[in-house]
Structure 1
């Protein structure tokens, strides 16, 4: 048939551990309720199967509300997909998005990895807050030559050279912390003047 989708794009569903008989996750990153009949005070009530609408958190991860026995729980979709298809998250591990898009909860885009690798991924994909910084807390512009970014550091953290030098100066000379800001501004002026 012309309307049939190729088998490679067919959506597969598996029960979510701990929620068997209530909810299932798909390898396309969706969550659905399972058709079930429940006894109530007025007889029986049948709940139809349906896709659960997800919400977006501030960190751009999708969550769904799962309910059982009158109690609800808000859970992240990527964790539910991995639990259903791969198994429970090993100790010290997190669910990582291979392409850096927290909205892409397809199984092929997810893996278990360490917190450190998750942060490195965020840096590489430009979603880590530190990679988007344009100025340091003192207001110094984070551009070369006032930018520290070690070539061996996969995380690509951006630090202010002037403030870093001022901190080292204060620590070495045991100066008062209040002097650090003035020293940092002086270093910044020198760095930017030399670059011009």
Structure 2
């Protein structure tokens, strides 16, 4: 597959992102201080990682350094500027897979549904309630909002409320 490069929105002439999820600085000449000209060769940028595990890079323009996540830069370059209220979503939920075909703009709710669908949401993958009762078909109650609740705990909760009301009276 050929690697296609597109300019980073807001950093045209400085940085480009590729169809393979990489970021590079553009070959350019610039003035470091009055009368001093420097030449910067094009090179792939090896950034770091956020605390959450997303690849990031530091972009510099006009002596101002800004930290950006790679998936947002690629999503902006291939799918247009970020619409208000939307986030860059990984379709397969692999944070390091930053190819344009794996990225899309979506709501936080849509991103959470992706995590549930891909089996990566911490609550959706739980097999037992916090008191150790297994979530089985017989022992699971679905609340109106879609959340799961253990029927054993639900029954005990009702009993303890009744006992507490009786003690107070």
The TM-score, its normalising length taken from structure 1, stands at 0.70
Deviations 1:161-188 (A, max 9, x none): 3344455x28975947xxxxxxxxxxxx
Equivalences for 1:137-176 in 2 at 5 Å? 137=130, 139-144=131-136, 145-148=138-141, 153=146, 158-166=148-156, 169=158, 175=164
Residue 32 of structure 2 is aligned with which of 25, 33, 40?
40
1:98–1:170 distance in 2 versus 1, CA, 3 Å: same
| 1:52 aligned residue | 45
Residue 117 of structure 1 is aligned with which of 110, 121, 135?
110
Look up the SS of the partner of 1:120 in the other structure: helix
Which sections of structure 1, spanning at least 5 residues, go unmatched? 1-8, 177-196
| 1:102 aligned residue | 95
| 2:21 aligned residue | 29
1:66–1:141 distance in 2 versus 1, CA, 3 Å: farther
| 2:59 aligned residue | 66
Q: Distance in 2 between matches of 1:77 and 1:90?
A: 17
| 2:68 aligned residue | 75
Q: Distance in 1 between matches of 2:37 and 2:65?
A: 21
Task: Indicate if the aligned counterparts of 2:133 and 2:152 stay in contact, CA closer than 8 A.
Answer: no
The TM-score, its normalising length taken from structure 2, stands at 0.80
| 2:6 aligned residue | 14
Task: Indicate if the aligned counterparts of 1:11 and 1:26 stay in contact, CA closer than 8 A.
Answer: yes
Task: Indicate if the aligned counterparts of 2:74 and 2:98 stay in contact, CA closer than 8 A.
Answer: yes
Q: Distance in 1 between matches of 2:160 and 2:76?
A: 48
User: Deviation of residue 93 (structure 1)?
Assistant: 1.8
Look up the SS of the partner of 1:130 in the other structure: coil
Task: Indicate if the aligned counterparts of 1:31 and 1:51 stay in contact, CA closer than 8 A.
Answer: yes
Name the structure where helix makes up a greater proportion of residues.
1
Q: Distance in 2 between matches of 1:58 and 1:133?
A: 24
Which sections of structure 2, spanning at least 5 residues, go unmatched? none
Aligned length: 162
User: Deviation of residue 71 (structure 1)?
Assistant: 2.2
Name the structure where strand makes up a greater proportion of residues.
2
> Does the alignment pair 1:89 with 2:82?
yes
